[in-house]
Amino acid sequence: MRRIEDEIKPWVGDERRRGEELYSHLEKHVREIAIKCFQSFDPTMVNVPEELLRLEGVKFRRLCEGAFTNEYFEAQGKVIRDINNKIGFTRFIVEACSVYAVEWSLAVLKETRWSASKREAYLRSLMKSLYTDVAVAIHHLISDMNDEAARQRAEYDRQREEAAAADALAMQALGKALSSLASGNLTVRMTETLPARHESARHDFNNAAEALRQAMLGIAQTSDDLCRGMQEIAASTGDLSRRTEQQATTLEQTAAALDQITATVRRTSDGASQATLAAASARDEAGKSSDIMKEAESAMAEIASSSSQISQIVSVIDEIAFQTNLLALNAGVEAARAGDAGKGFAVVASEVRALAQRSADAAKEIRNLIATSTQQVERGVTLVESTGQTLAAIFGKVTEMDRLIADIAASAREQSTGLHEINTAVNQMDQVTQQNAAMVEESTAAVNEMSARAQELTGLLQRFSLSGQASATALRYAA
């Protein structure tokens, strides 16, 4: 940027004389216009300091006379910087400069009574001086902004160089740590302090490395637990497989035994059904025998009654024989009394007596036979009655046996049905057990595969250092 001193030169000749003449007319308005200008951009300034008014008078005289010297430039730079700090560049141009130009223009119009050409010359001189002042002010502000920009640029370049150096240092340290981390050393930490902007990255790396180490430790422990668990599961699965096979064999034998038992119970049920029929037939036959025994008892009773009647008849015959013998005896007595005339009658009487005697002997034998027969009939009646009672008891027992055999047959049918269902269930259990055995074999193979994968995982984890060594020699015991 070119120097303002090279751009603006002090006025000389007529231009300077015209300015001096203009100042002589406007000097008396310096205080008034200065107060208005200061209060326009700072309404709180009730009393303007006298020093400011004095400096404003010096400045306005230099403007009117075109005394653009180093003293002016330095003084204007100080003033414009103070105003810029108070109201800003925009308000300085829009408000302060406009008020300043208007007030001095009005002052020129008020103080000049001469010709229009003279007034125009004064206004031109005043506007040139005022705009020169604005140009100087703008130059100072722009110069300050350029200086600030240059300072900021230099500061930015310095910070960028420092940041680049810090970045290089941080990247070097981070790259070294990452290289060590990539080689499997999870215990690496960035202990050297980095520039402030990279401290968070250092802490983040250390936290991430620690988190990764803890995660790897957890994975290692989990892998170790998984290996042990897989081994235990494999052993348990092997035992389960063997037991399942044994169970399948046992179930198969049980199913065969149940088939035999079911067949036996079915035959028992059929035999019980046949026994029920036989018992029913025996009960019917016993009923018929009971009826026959009742008829036999009735017949024996009738025989006993007939024997009693025969005994009575024999008694009558015995009495007749006795009377006949008595009559024959009387007839012999009478024949003896009759002598020869009664001999024939005596012979008849003797025959009649002999006949009566034989009748009496026959009646006696009949009586003995009837007595014996009566005893035998009575004994037969007793036996028949006993036989009837025995048959009645047999009939009751046969009836009870028929009921029991029917119950046994019903139970046997129920047992046969239940055994059939059990047999079906056992066959299904046998099929399921066979399927389970196959699944257990598959599970055993899967567990063995998982165990191998877990061992591979353990081998991979052993490539990392978790406890400070170059490599983990015994990862499952890493702390």
Q: Give the mean model confidence (pLDDT) for residues 362-369.
A: 80
Q: What is the pTM of this model?
A: 0.36
Residue 99 binned pLDDT confidence (cut-offs 50, 70, 90)? confident
Q: What is the pLDDT of residues 101-146, one digit of tens each?
A: 787 878 887 777 767 777 788 778 878 877 777 777 777 777 777 8
Give CA separation, 362 vs 304, 312, 367, in Å. Answer: 21, 14, 8
Q: Which of 85, 82, 61 is nearest to 72 (CA)?
A: 61
Give the contacts of 29 (CB within 8 A, at least 6 positions apart). 103, 104, 107, 111
Domains, the chain: 4-157 (1.10.490), 232-461 (1.10.287.950)
Q: Which of 476, 456, 457 is nearest to 466 (CA)?
A: 476
CA distance 59 to 39: 18
Q: Give the mean model confidence (pLDDT) for residues 35-56.
A: 78
**3-class secondary structure, 189:** coil
User: Is residue 466 over pLDDT 70?
Assistant: no
Lowest-confidence pick of 15-19, 53-57, 208-212, 464-468: 464-468
